[in-house]
Amino acid sequence: MIALRGKWYDGKTAVQTDVVCTVYDSGNVHVEKADDHSRIVTLPQFAVDISARLADTPRYLKFPDGAQLETLDNDTVDQLVERYRRTSWLDRVHLLESRFKFVLVGLLFLLIFLWGSVQYGIPWAARIVAHMLPSSILNVASQQTLSMLDRSMLSATELDADTRERLKAYFQPLITSHSDYDFNIIFRKGGGLGANAFALPDGTIIFTDEMVNLAAHDQELSAVLAHEIGHVVRRHGMRSIVQDSLLGFAILAITGDITGSSELFIALPVLLTELAYSREFEREADQYALTCMQDHYIDLKHFANLMRRVAKEAGGDEGDGQKKWVNYLSTHPMTEDRLKAFE
């Protein structure tokens, strides 16, 4: 005979009753109130569904009429499982979690899985999704981004019309060699952004006045243009957005409903992984620029020369590969190893 105590729910109301459940060797099940021992239900044979054990959480004995008994007496319930029911895979989960070494192994595999998902899975998925997005989404995203930049950071260019037209004409061979893309070169005064150039997903490429004025000649700007074209062709802008979104969704799935201070917890991993993703994007854009410059007979050293000038202008130390560079180099992380590829 096996007896256990618990809470009884009849499956029809929210009323709970303290009960004693007795299972006899013959398989008969008898449930009675704990206070007056009045009978609640009797089963001629064991026909009770038992929930699996997970740590020390409550167990449930579900009866054929929808009623159920909730109990914390897991050890006694385990005796019932051993006698009347086959062991399920969830029971094996409890067996594993009750052994510390298995917990550590499971945690290790979980961490490896999460690392692999962030390092490889999410970037792979973002690459697929970004290249499937229709041009209408790219256009809307680019227009909204440019509008925000014009309101908050950029202002109207102070370059004269002749300079702007000369540069657009000089860039034309690079532009026309990418007939599948609708590139549009525009100029803005950078202000706090300083010497900068960046590409929007729809093919809009922005040069700041400061970058134009810093260039020793137009070929240096063509080298920057080739790099920015690489960002557009590889869909880096949209891939970055998709990666951040997927990472946020993944954290939501793991942590559940997130409010208040936990919103900061979500934002931090996204910001921390963004730098690593940006470095990968820069390597891809570098490789694209190298090929593009060679195809158009642009001396590779022009890109490295301008980047070093940007670093010097911003007060950076070009010999310190660990030091963070600002302006163009803060949005396009640069290292000496990358620059050497252009020399």
Instruction: Please give the pLDDT value at position 202.
Output: 92
Residues 6+ apart with CB under 8 A from 214: 195, 306, 309, 310, 313
Residues 6+ apart with CB under 8 A from 303: 220, 223, 224, 226, 227, 289, 293, 339, 342
Question: With bands split at pLDDT 50, 70 and 90, how would you rate the model's confidence at 220?
Answer: very high
What CATH topology corresponds to 2-86?
A: PH-domain like (2.30.29)
The yes-or-no verdict on residue 87 having pLDDT over 60 is no
Instruction: Please give the pLDDT value at position 88.
Output: 54
Question: With bands split at pLDDT 50, 70 and 90, how would you rate the model's confidence at 115?
Answer: confident
Mean pLDDT, residues 56-72 taken together: 91
Question: With bands split at pLDDT 50, 70 and 90, how would you rate the model's confidence at 119?
Answer: confident
Provide the residue ranges of all domains of the chain, joining segments of one domain with +: 2-86, 130-340
Mean pLDDT of the chain: 81
The yes-or-no verdict on residue 269 having pLDDT over 60 is no
Instruction: Please give the pLDDT value at position 106.
Output: 72
